[in-house]
Structure 1
Amino acid sequence: MKIAELGNVQLHYRIDGDPDGAPVVFANSLGTDMRLWDDILPLLPKGLKLIRYDKRGHGLSSLPPGSYSMGALVRDAEALLDMLEIRDCVFVGLSVGGMIGQGLAVKRMDQVRALVLSNTGAKIGTPEMWSDRIAAVREGGIEALADSILERWFSKDFLATPEVALWRNMLVRQPDEGYAGVSAAISGTDFYTPTSGLRLPTLGIAGSEDGATPPDLVRETVDLVPGSRFELIRRAGHLPCVEKPEEYAAILTKFLKETGHV
């Protein structure tokens, strides 16, 4: 385990694969930590430098006080990649991780050469929805919302398996304040205009049963970027890298090859 000391935040990160390989950076969703990507990494081509991190308020990263802004989440990723001297990465972001990817690609074209927007949007939900969720977490903790969150995360098939207990445990172990802080960042974000100005290879991935970021939202977002491509993973929810790791890894591998990253 490694910690990046970035001033007002300390980020837990991990590097797998070839330390001299082409970099692929993974940013995970609200309520999860870097283990979200465990099942797909062994399925990716050899020779890649695979970088994961826990965003602020999640996993083993620090928990700065107060609500967070999307600008802060983007700056965290930017500072981590600067510290690691990463340039020209493929940035794979799921849900809020995809929002971070959009913001980083707009801000630092030198850091991001291609973008994977998985189960995300240029704007997710409404401020009223997020306000209600933040209030519920602060009143009853993540535990009070866990079952409804899992129903948005996973397909009915996966919800019937014993493995869903592992993801519930991961969810409820995230700090309540970290979940609320990142929720506030999502609430205040609308990337439709900046994302429409992006000109880089972009892949969208959606799950057919995603109750958090439906396929139409993902498609609408990636369509903002000229020349982008969209892939739908059937019988999967908000976290298709968990439910369908082989299919997810195959789609990602194809994109890495098409962009010359492998």
Structure 2
Amino acid sequence: MTTDWRESIPDRLGDLPLGGDLIRTEPGGRAAAPIAVLGVYPALTKMGRFETDDGPINLPVEVEATSFAPGSSSGREIDAAYLSPLGLSRDDVLFLDMFPHYLANTSGSGSGGRSMWDNVQTYERVTGEQTAMKPRPQPDALLGRCRTMPGNTERLAEQLEAHPRRLVFTLGNEAAAFIRGDDAAKAAQPHLLASPKDLVFAGRSSPVVHLPHPGIVMRRTPWRDRLTAWIEAKGRRLLADLDG
């Protein structure tokens, strides 16, 4: 029987540009894994080019079917910077995101300074097509949306309550603030790479460790160095202690 949250968060939200599907991204990994990793929102896995009078633009045409999918760039990043250094395999981890759909980034990049959301809006204006894409809100607004989105709390509870987790990792300020109950994403930043703390989330109490977001780790050397130092000094020992 279909549950209420699936009625509120359908498996297909609507169209992406160029005929793609904006889907609900499912948890990745093993449902009964002893460790859960909570990200922010799913990643893009494929872009398509669209010609405009001002030149070609890149558009989102495919998103992750499962969170941190092994073949996606986000999956490769999590494997290289987190799982492998910690000595974890994908069988050890259940991946999920606090928001169930891909969101278009509003930060400009490249020589033109255009964002993915700029490109989506251009596509819609030129073609007259209305996609299901939405812009990524500012961090605090995204926290509020995740908490008030019909069915989202129930979705996460179902995905996390089914099996006890010996440890939960969060990725980035927003995921840390979400699970801590903070209203402001930056309020969680001082807790990144701190000792585990028991928190009640989605109906269960679990020890939680807040890690920096992969996007920050990959782009900023100081954060990459901090994560590496934490893994070597504390992370591996923490996991060894869990194994008894």
Same fold (TM over 0.5): no
Please state which band the TM-score falls in when normalised by the shorter chain: 0.3 to 0.5
- Give me the TM-score of the superposition, normalised by structure 2: 0.33
- Give me the TM-score of the superposition, normalised by structure 1: 0.31
Which is higher, the Rg of structure 1 or of structure 2? Answer: 2
